[in-house]
Structure 1
Amino acid sequence: MIHFCTLFNSQYLTRGLAMYQSLKQHCTSFHLYVFAFDDLAHQTLNTMQLPHATVISLADFEDEQLLTVKPTRTAGEYCWTCTSSTIRYCIQTYGLDACTYIDADLLFFADPSVLIEEMEDRSVLITSHRYSPAYDQSATSGTYCVQFICFKNTEDGMSALNWWREACLAWCYNRIEDGKFGDQKYLDDWPNRFSGVHELQHIGGGVGPWNIQQYDFSYRNGSLMGKELASGKDFPVIFYHYHGFRYAEADAFIPAPNYQLSKNDLKHIYSPYVKALTSVERELKEKRMSQQFHETVEIPRIRKSIRRMYKLYISGHFREFYHRSYFSR
C-alpha cells in the first residue's frame, strides 16, 4: 500500500477531492492522509466518509513549534511551512514505512506506484520541474517541485525530512532571499547534501504548465500518453500538476495563467480536470453541501460588454478565461 498525505483548506476542496477520486480510480492500493486547514474543510471531509482517507484537523496536527511561527507567515506561507511536518506527522503517528506528500491540485491518469518503485533502495524521491526554456524558473522557484515527494522511514529519509522541517520553521516565505524561496528551493542541493536521494526519471511524473510545451498528448486504449517532441519518446502520463488553475465568475476557468497552452493540451489535459471538478461539485450538491469550495476570479467588464460575453459564451473563451462548456465540446 502507498501512503500519501496532502493539505488544503475549503477553497481547494473541490481540487483535493478530484485528486482523491483520481487516486481511487488509478491506484490499486493507497491511503490518503488529508490535513484539513480550516473547519469547513474538516467538517465536509468527515461528512463525506471517504473510504481511503483519514482526515486530520489542525488541532490534532499543529505542535508548539508550528504554532510559534504561524503568526509570522501568510496563509500560503504557513501551508508551505507545514508540508514537511505533515509527512513527519504521518510517519510518526501511524508508524508508516514511507509517506509521499502530493499537492492537492494534481490529477492522476495512471497508477503512481511505478514512480515509487523507481526509488528502489533509495530513501528520498524528488521530482524536477523539467522547465521548458521559455519558463525556466530554476533560479527563483528551484530545480525541484514539492508536488510529489516521498520519504522512507529510514535513517537517510528521516535525516533529510527533519532537516527540511527545521529549515522551514526557521524560514519559509513567498519571496526570494539568500538563495531561498518558500519550502521548495531548499531541495536544490539535496542530491549532494543527503544520502539516498533519487531524482525521478519517469517523464510522466510531474507534467505541468511549465513543461507541457515539450510534449504532445493522445489517448491510446483508454490511457493518456505523452510524446516528448525533442526525442519522439512516448510515455504514459502518471499525473499532471494544475498549478495556477483558477475558478472565475460566469462559470469560467483560467487554466494556466502566464503559460502557453495548445488546443491539444486543453483537450487532453484540461478537459479531464474540468470534468473531474464538475463531478465533485455534483456530488457535493447531492449531499446538500451548498457552500462555495473555491475562489472566484472576476472577469473584467464581462457583464457590461456584449462582445466579451459573446466570446465567452459562444466561442467558449475570452482571453485567458474559458467557459465550462468549452471543455465538453
Structure 2
Amino acid sequence: MTPHFVTYFDSHYAAQGIAMLQSLRAWCPGARATVLCLDDTILHILSAWFPDGVKTLTIAQILQHDSRLVELQATRTPWEFYATTKPLVIRHVMETEVAQDDWVAFLDADTYFFSSPRDAFAEIPAHASTVLSPHRFSFDTIELERYGTYNAGFGLWRHDTRGKAVLADWATRCLEWCFNRVEDGRFMNQAYLNAWPQEHEGVQVLAHPGFNLAPWNLGRHVLRQASEGTQVDAEPLVFFHFSSVSRRDCGIWQTFYTYPEMSQPAVLDGIYSPYLQQLEIISERLLREHGIAGVGTQRKIDPATPMLVLRAP
C-alpha cells in the first residue's frame, strides 16, 4: 500500500517542506503528493522544483469548499487557520485524487524520511480505515499530553465510508474551534483525535517505533547507529518529526526541546546533522534561484525560552 501524501507549507518553510518531499521520493519512489501552497511564492517554487509527481493546491481553492473559511481566516492566526484547513484539504485530496478503498496520508512539512515506510504500511490490518500516530510521551514529557494523545502531524485515512466519516467529523470540529491554547480538552486540531478510537469504527493506532520519532518520545526508545541507518528499538527509523527547529540570523540551528535524550550522539549526529545539512543545501539554492532562505516559521518563540544548539555554522 502506497498512500497519496498530503502536506502544506508556505515560502517561509520552503526548505523544510522541500526536504520532506525529497526524502519521500527517495524512500517511496512513485509516491504521489499534493501540497497546499500557503502563498504564491511556494506555488511558483514547487512548480519549478517538482515538475511531475507533486500536485499543488492554493488557499483560494480550499476557500471555495466552505464559505465559513473566509470569515475564519480573519479571526484566527495564520497557524490556527492552517490547522483549521487540514481535514478539509485531506478530504479534498481524497475525493479528487484517491481511488475508492485507497489511502491518503497527511505529513507535516517538518518530517523527514530515513527509510521506506512500505513494510510498516503493509502491517496495517485490513479492517482499518483510519490510522493514528501516538505521541508516545516519555516520563519526562508526559506533561505534554494535555496537547493530545495522538500527533496530528501524521495520519492515514482510507477512501471508504468510515474514513470519510472521521474526516467529516474532524472538519466540523475544527471549523467550530481551532486555537493555539488548551481549553476544555481541546487544542488546535490535535486534541480532537483523542476520542476517535471510541467514537469511530476502524480506527487503528500505529505501533511501529520508527514512525514519527520525535523529541517528545525519544525517552521511550533505545536508539542505535547501525550500518544500515538508525535503529529504534531494533526497528528502522522511518521518519523523524523535526518539530520546532529554527535558525538564528548567525546561522546556529536550535530547538526549544532541551530534554537530555536530545543530546545523544545517535540523535544529534545520526538524525539532526544530516537533516540540517540538507536544509542548508536547499536554502542556498532557494537564495540563488528565488531570493529567499526558506527556513522561517509562523510559530512565534519567546526570546527568553531556553534553547538547545543543534548545529553551529
The TM-score with structure 1 as length reference comes to: 0.85
User: Would you say 1:252 and 2:257 are equivalent positions?
Assistant: no
Provide the rounded CA distance (Å) in 1 between the counterparts of 2:18 and 2:143: 29
Provide the rounded CA distance (Å) in 1 between the counterparts of 2:310 and 2:185: 37
Of structures 1 and 2, the one scoring higher in RCO (CA 8 A, sep 6+) is 2
Q: Which residue of the partner structure matches residue 171 of structure 2?
A: 165
User: Would you say 1:91 and 2:63 are equivalent positions?
Assistant: no
Equivalences, count: 301
Deviations, residues 200-257 of structure 1 (Å, cap 9, x unaligned): 0111111100011233433323322123xxxxxx111111001111111211111443
Provide the rounded CA distance (Å) in 1 between the counterparts of 2:245 and 2:259: 11
Q: Which residue of the partner structure matches residue 200 of structure 1?
A: 206
- Unaligned runs of 5+ residues in structure 1 are 228-233, 301-317
1:38-57 residue pairs with structure 2 within 5 A?
Answer: 38-57=39-58
1:103-114 residue pairs with structure 2 within 5 A?
Answer: 103-114=108-119
Identity %: 28
Q: After TM superposition, give the deviation of residue 22 of structure 1 in Å.
A: 0.7
Which one of 57, 78, 82 corresponds to residue 81 of structure 2? 78
| Residues 250, 323 of structure 1: 8 Å contact kept | no
Q: Aligned pair in 2 of structure 1 residues 107, 50: CA closer, same or farther (>3 Å)?
A: farther
Q: Which residue of the partner structure matches residue 59 of structure 2?
A: 58
Provide the rounded CA distance (Å) in 1 between the counterparts of 2:195 and 2:301: 40
Q: Which residue of the partner structure matches residue 241 of structure 1?
A: 241
User: Would you say 1:222 and 2:223 are equivalent positions?
Assistant: no
Aligned-residue CA RMSD (Å):
2.2
Provide the rounded CA distance (Å) in 2 between the counterparts of 1:139 and 1:213: 15
Deviations, residues 244-289 of structure 1 (Å, cap 9, x unaligned): 1111121111144343312311111111111221231243345x22
Q: Aligned pair in 2 of structure 1 residues 237, 50: CA closer, same or farther (>3 Å)?
A: farther
Matched residue type, 1:62: L
Provide the rounded CA distance (Å) in 2 between the counterparts of 1:256 and 1:32: 30
Matched residue type, 1:177: E
User: Would you say 1:272 and 2:277 are equivalent positions?
Assistant: no
| Residues 243, 256 of structure 1: 8 Å contact kept | no
| Residues 204, 238 of structure 1: 8 Å contact kept | yes
| Residues 249, 299 of structure 1: 8 Å contact kept | no
User: Would you say 1:10 and 2:1 are equivalent positions?
Assistant: no
Q: After TM superposition, give the deviation of residue 61 of structure 1 in Å.
A: 2.3
| Residues 218, 268 of structure 1: 8 Å contact kept | no
Provide the rounded CA distance (Å) in 1 between the counterparts of 2:200 and 2:113: 29
Q: After TM superposition, give the deviation of residue 323 of structure 1 in Å.
A: 4.0
Provide the rounded CA distance (Å) in 2 between the counterparts of 1:50 and 1:104: 19
Secondary structure of the corresponding residue to residue 85 of structure 2: helix
The TM-score with structure 2 as length reference comes to: 0.89
| Residues 37, 59 of structure 2: 8 Å contact kept | yes
Secondary structure of the corresponding residue to residue 172 of structure 1: coil
Provide the rounded CA distance (Å) in 2 between the counterparts of 1:146 and 1:68: 24
